[in-house]
Every structure is written in C-alpha cells, then in structure tokens.
Structure 1
Amino acid sequence: MKTKIIFLSVFLFTASLGFSQNKNAPRSIISSSASIKKYHGLDELRGMQKGELLELYVERIQVLVKILPYIALATKPGVTITDIGIPNNAENKKSMEAQVEGTTAFLALTVDFQRRMLPYSDKDNLIAAILFYENTMKSLHEFNEL
C-alpha cells in the first residue's frame, strides 16, 4: 500500500512539474488563439444562416484585435519579445501583461456588443464585412513576407 502511495505521489509531482508554466519565460506577443480556421468564399457565405455568419464575424474581429496592434513587432503567434530583441525584464513583462488584460477587457465588451446588435444587421453587410476581415488577414500574410 505504501509503495502505491509513494508511486502516486512521485507521479503527481512529476506531472505537476511538466505542466507548470515557467514564470520567467517570455510571453508570446500574439495570442496562440489569433488565427482563422478557414477562409470562405462569397457563395459559401451566402448559403449560411445569419447565426453562423455572426459567429464568423465575431471570430474575425477577435483575431484582428489580437494581431493588428502588434504587426510592427510580429504577425504570427509564438514570437516573444525576447525573439525580437526586447529585454525580458520586469517592466516589459508588466507592460505585456497590462496590454493582454486591456485587450481581453476590450474584446469582452466588443463581443458582448456584437452579439446584441449584429442580429439586427443586414445579411449582405455582414457577408461583406466578413470578406473584408478575411482579406485583411490574407494581407497580413503578405505583409509578413516583406
């Protein structure tokens, strides 16, 4: 019985070490959730229900808000401040954390607003906005190649 308890304790300790985050590791400038799963064509969007379009619209807004303020630094998730030569000191970490908190709060308000108001929007305008946002995202991929 004691060997089972010891084995379980060692296993849990090892697992907790493996899953714990390094507090000193630099944070990614762009969130890993800042990506669009699929781009759509006009005919495909026209065939969707308004509820589906609203979700696509909200997803694209979230991705753009998570990327656009940082394009002078990075355009893809995974790049850290250390990767681009910014010191990973306490002041810069605090600044990054404040930015993440601000972005999170902004997105919460924006998504709430969109979920309340967008059901009243014209379906064609919603489709045009989704295509515009997707073209903007495609342009960011071209921007990255410059």
Structure 2
Amino acid sequence: MKGKIIFLSVFFLLTTGAVSAQAKNAPRSIISTTALIRKYHDQKELSGMQKGELLELYIERIKVLVKTLPYIALVTKPGVTMADLGIPDDNEHKKSLENQALGTSAFLDTTVDFQRKMMPYSDKANLIAAILFYEGTLKSLHEFNELNEM
C-alpha cells in the first residue's frame, strides 16, 4: 500500500514538473490574453449602475487599452505570438517582450492603485463618459483590424 502511494506521489510530481517546464517554453502572446472586454455598454445601462461598478468597468477598460494600444502596428488581437508574425523567437526578442510585459504590469499596478484612490471622487457622469469613450476607442480597434485585413 505504501509503495503505491509513494509511486503515485513521485509520478504526480514528475508530471507536474514536465507540464510546468513546457509552459515556460510555450510561445508568449504579444498582447496579453487578458486584454479582452466581456461586454460593451450604452449610456442608459451605465446610468443605472452604482459608482463602484462603474469604477471597475473604467479600470478594466484602462487595462485593456494599455495592454493593446502599444502593439497595434504589429497586432490588435490577443493570442498572436512573435512566431505568428515572423519575428525571430530568439532570446533577444523573448527578453524584450518579457521586459515590456513587466513594465506594463508595473505601470498598471500603479495606475490601478491611483484609480481606486482617486476616481471615487469623480462625478458619475464623467465616469460614464470616460467608459463610453474608452469603449469607442476599443471598438475602433476592431475597425482598424478590418481595414488592415483588406
């Protein structure tokens, strides 16, 4: 009985190690796969929301824009890798992409902290207008992508 438990434990550890090793070597998406908007809203819908809900939507849209806009000359959708674009998948390019991801993450941490402290003092109408503006910008990225495919 002890032998089975030890065998299964060792097997589980080796399997876990192999899976995590493969994840490290997997190609990384240029635009974060978390850079997605679940739903777009209209002014009437936003007007019915509480300020706390609006703040979360505002922050979500900022995150998506920051994770997307710097890359639109390369790609506009999450999930595209350097290899998909013909960029050499060497250490130099991987390191550059990793440094960019770290910088973006640090910027977003600071920005979100600021937003959570300061935006509750904003006027609800201004928050709604900003969300609609951000959503309009994100929708225009879809139009940009369609023009780029022609």
TM over 0.5: yes
> Once structures 1 and 2 are overlaid, which stretch shifts more, 2-11 or 111-120?
2-11
List structure 1 runs of 4+ shifted beyond 4 angstroms. none
- 2:37 is aligned to 36
SS at match of 2:84: coil
Instruction: Tell me, yes or no, if structure 1 residue 145 matches structure 2 residue 146.
Output: yes
Instruction: Tell me, yes or no, if structure 1 residue 126 matches structure 2 residue 127.
Output: yes
Whole-Å Cα distance in 2 between the matches of residues 21 and 50 of structure 1? 43
Deviations 1:36-86 (A, max 9, x none): 111111111000011110110011000100000001111111101111011
> Once structures 1 and 2 are overlaid, which stretch shifts more, 22-31 or 63-72?
22-31
Alpha-carbon RMSD across the aligned residues, in angstroms, is 1.4
Select the structure that is richer in helix. Answer: 2
- 2:67 is aligned to 66
Aligned length: 146
- 1:83 is aligned to 84
Distance 1:24 1:16, change over 3 A: closer
Q: For residue 22 of structure 1, report the CA deviation from its aligned partner.
A: 4.0
Whole-Å Cα distance in 2 between the matches of residues 97 and 18 of structure 1? 21
- 1:6 is aligned to 7
Unaligned runs of 5+ in 1: none
SS at match of 2:24: coil
In structure 2, give the amino acid aligned to 1:114. Answer: Q
SS at match of 1:82: helix
Q: For residue 111 of structure 1, report the CA deviation from its aligned partner.
A: 0.9
TM-score by length of 1: 0.93
TM-score by length of 2: 0.91
Whole-Å Cα distance in 2 between the matches of residues 15 and 88 of structure 1? 25
- 1:102 is aligned to 103
SS at match of 2:61: helix
